Amino acid sequence: MTRWTAEDIPDQSGRVAVVTGANSGLGYVTSLELARRGAHVVLGCRNEVRGKEAVARLIAAAPGADVELRPLDMADLSSIRSFADSIQASFPAVDILVNNAGVMAIPRRETADGFEMQFGTNHLGHFALTGLLLPLMVHQAGARVVTVSSTAHKPGAIDFEDLMHERRYRRFGAYSASKLANLLFTFELHRKLAAIDAPLISVAAHPGTSATNLVRATADGNPVIEFVMAHGVRLVGQSEAKGALPQLYAATAPEVRGGEYFGPNGLMESRGYPKKVDSSSASKDAETAARLWTVSEDLTGVTYGALRP
């Protein structure tokens, strides 16, 4: 695994992959490489115009790629339900779900359902989507749920008394909390799947410091901040293609096991090739994870009935 690249992805022919936030950045690269290896890839995208442009770029880069676009807004539970319904109507099983879409350190806004945007999109949206697609995955041999987190989870904390950051909103604090929630979800899903001996596994990955659209979104339209951040990322980080390798490894490498977490092998996990990495002690708190799970079911209305014996 020292220098694992996209060239090492095994054949994915006959497999169905769903990638959220697939029109740009890590999601686009992930979709492209899975399609290059023969997977049928469903690109879940909020913006239809950008989604169509992404499909066109993808087909140009990988002629014959078996891909399709479906509308998906991770900040809207009704959109998530409609997307999941369309997937269930189209496929008997899903082999790979990459929970990739995200927003980062934006000014406080709310989702269509009244959730703080970062927690609602990054965690609750993917919690809901995974639960709705679970019946297509839970009994599928070799199936994987890959949730994309960040090294920014490390200073994060879950405040159950103020999950939506209404008392005090700190944009990076809210982002860190949402990325911690991603890992708490990943590990709790792993425990629940292991308890019923399901073949489906739950894993996580992070891209290190990567030049993605999240960096531009963080600048919130400020050209000076965008310039500084973009150039800073170029100095210490890596390309989107390299940043996508940990989640591609997590999604496809045969040696991956449930509950594992992957990131770059370079200095401070900022760049490099995929390797298994550690996460904060808070991310491994089973009591917090169980409580967050219950709260997430209540907030989204999505219950994981397929996990019950």
User: What burial class does residue 114 get, using C-beta atoms within 10 Å of its C-beta: 0-12 exposed, 13-18 middle, 19+ buried?
Assistant: exposed
CA dihedral of residues 279, 168, 107, 186 (deg, nearest 10): 30
Sheet holding 261-264, edge to edge: 67-71, 40-45, 16-20, 96-99, 144-148, 201-205, 261-264, 274-276
Maximum C-alpha span of the chain: 54
Q: Is the separation of the CB atoms in 117 and 111 below 8 Å?
A: yes
Judging by DSSP bridges, how do beta strands 261-264 and 96-99 pair with one another? Answer: unpaired
175 assigned to active site: yes
Catalytic residue selected from 175, 249, 261, 304: 175
Catalytic residues: 175
